[in-house]
Amino acid sequence: MTTRPTITVKWAQTIDGRAAAADGTSQWITGPAARADVHARRAAADAILIGTGTLLADDPSLTARTPNGELLVAAADQPLPVVVGTRDIPADAKVLRHPALAATGAQPIRLAGADLAADLASLSERGIRSVFVEGGPHIVSSLLRLGLVDELLVYVAPALLGGPGLAVNDLGIGTMTDIVRLSFTGIEHHGPDLLIVATPEPKETR
């Protein structure tokens, strides 16, 4: 059987399930306490994975940092950046200055995304055992649709946005018999925000 890393998917949303406003902006849905929790969880992962859509929209650093911007763990221990998709990374993207890569001049790990199961298996071959996925909705939905998610971290802000910017896109579910059921394994408060921790149930138990 092909091995793959443990996959944790995180997103932040309003209480009505929106991860972005109608104009595409998404920073910041949740408050400082929730964001600090995210960075602590990033620090425990071997890699952080995003799609090129998120990279181009948000220009994230993909590092684990303290609230004042300092590295939460040493540069050599920072999670490796992984970018899924075929679009070019802009020359001035923050991820190209990632501290885990700076010393060696290495580039972010690139995955084409056409076969996510094979892509994740290739990460395992690199020695990556845990991946923290930060979206966006296309990547999240694809992983859920393929049954490649081990844990979900959903940060819910007490706010409403409305509009089209859903946190999860089409999962290919046409009937209730195919619904993706989850088991709640934890609920935490971080400032005004709520963190729901869940695991997808095996398909045979749905």
Residue 105 has a pLDDT of: 81
Task: Indicate whether 50 pLDDT > 60.
Answer: yes
- The mean per-residue pLDDT over the stretch 123-129 comes to 95
Percent of the chain with pLDDT over 90: 74
In whole numbers, what is the pLDDT of the chain averaged over residues? 92
- The mean per-residue pLDDT over the stretch 16-27 comes to 83
Residue 157 lies in a domain: yes
Percent of the chain with pLDDT over 70: 97
Residue 204 has a pLDDT of: 61
Residue 189 lies in a domain: yes
- What is the number of domains present in the chain? 1
- The mean per-residue pLDDT over the stretch 155-172 comes to 91
Task: Indicate whether 1 pLDDT > 60.
Answer: no
pTM reported for the whole predicted model: 0.92
The domain spanning residue 54 has which CATH number? 3.40.430.10
Residue 206 has a pLDDT of: 46
Q: What is the DSSP string of 25-93?
A: --TTSS-HHHHHHHHHHHHTSSEEEEEHHHHHHH------B-TTS-BSS-GGGSPEEEEESSSPPPTT-
Residue 104 lies in a domain: yes
- Cα dist from 199 to 23, 42, 98, 150, 196, whole Å: 31, 18, 30, 6, 10
Q: pLDDT tens across 63-92, in order?
A: 999 989 899 999 999 999 999 999 999 999
Residue 1 lies in a domain: no
- The mean per-residue pLDDT over the stretch 88-109 comes to 91
Indicate the residue type of 86.
Answer: T
pLDDT band for 27, please (50, 70, 90 cuts): confident
Q: Are strands 47-51 and 80-84 parallel, antiparallel or unpaired?
A: parallel
Residue 166 lies in a domain: yes
Instruction: Find the domain containing 177 and state its range.
Output: 6-205
